[in-house]
Amino acid sequence: MENQRNISEFILLGLSYDPNLQLFCFALFLFCYVALLVGNLLILVSIRCSCLFHQPMYYFLSHLSSMDICYTSSVTPKLIGDLLVETKSISYGNCMLQVFTMHFFGSIEVFILTAMAFDRYVAICKPLHYLIFMNRTRCNLIVLAAWAGGAVHSFPQLSMTIRLPFCGANEIDHYFCDIFPLLKVACTDTYITGVLVVANSGMVALVTFVVLFVSYVIILFTLRNHSAEGRRKALSTCGSHITVVVLFFGPSIFAYLRSPTTFPEDKVFALFYTIIAPMFNPLIYTLRNTEMKNAMRKVWCQAYFQRGLT
């Protein structure tokens, strides 16, 4: 612990040294973050204020929107603020907090995406047992299990990071605190720690992706026996899920399922799973979902009408 306290803060090198590019990125990511907040809050309020909240798929979607907000908010506000300053510093405590919240909310999001895939599997492949399998008590337990899984994943990550001694260099070649960039500036042999990070984060991402991929293959295979209208509706819903999974898991697997080192491309791929994918989630789940669009129209038109009457 004494070695760790030799450094009280870290310097984030950010995305670029070019002032013009930094201003462009500031405007771009500010727009992305506002769009993410507005989109996910619209989904949250629309689901909570409509009958969709009682359907398991939309119950999970409301939790996914909450996780999108929490997950991105652990990184993006700091990134946006840093784009306007020359020295991008972060205290040791806030750096460790960022490592924890990133992995905690990110892993909860992964498990909720898995729950949504399970919900679609039961609805399409076991329709007669759907109400038995996906009752509200079981849905609550699944969400609770997702939070527990997030804690089981993130606390070991935090523990490994806190144990690292930092006694010299404090410049992190990234725009947020993550484990691989921190391993690079630690003043000790970090090979074993890097392997443990890959075994934890990398395998969680890979195994979850494989489970999701297999489940959607089974779903698509089962759809052959459905009517044309049933196939169209199911494919619309599953297509949204698959798009979200690819946007989130593709860059995540590249970032964590490899040798514990850093590459210049890491920052670009990190943008996808920290900002881009969460921003597109509301669009993906609303533009291709008739029920969601109808619920949003009903809730917000009713609110506007009531406001007009007052």
Indicate whether 73 pLDDT > 90: yes
- Mean local confidence (pLDDT), 266-288: 80
Fold category of 9-301 in CATH = Rhopdopsin 7-helix transmembrane proteins (1.20.1070)
**Beta partners for 171?**
11
pLDDT band at 152 (very low <50, low <70, confident <90, very high): very high
Q: What percent of the chain has pLDDT over 90?
A: 21
The three-state (H, E, C) secondary structure of the chain, written as one string: CCCHHHCCEEEECCCCCCHHHHHHHHHHHHHHHHHHHHHHHHHHHHHHCCHHHHCHHHHHHHHHHHHHHHHHHCCHHHHHHHCCCCCCEEEHHHHHHHHHHHHHHHHHHHHHHHHHHHHHHHHHHCHHHHHHHCCHHHHHHHHHHHHHHHHHHHHHHHHHHHCCCCCCCCEECCCCCCHHHHHHHCCCCCHHHHHHHHHHHHHHHHHHHHHHHHHHHHHHHHHHHCCHHHHHHHHHHHHHHHHHHHHHHHHHHHHHCCCCCCCCCHHHHHHHHHHHHHHHHHHHHHHCCHHHHHHHHHHHHHHHHHHHHC
pLDDT digits (tens, 9 = 90+) for 153-178: 999 889 888 888 888 778 888 888 88
pLDDT at 28: 92
> How many CB atoms are located within 10 Å of the residue 246 CB?
14
**pLDDT tens string 108-147:** 988 998 898 888 888 888 888 888 888 889 999 999 999 9
Total-model pTM: 0.85
Q: Cα separation of 265 and 138, whole Å?
A: 41
The CA distances from residue 127 to 6, 74, 148, 212, in Å, are: 60, 39, 28, 19
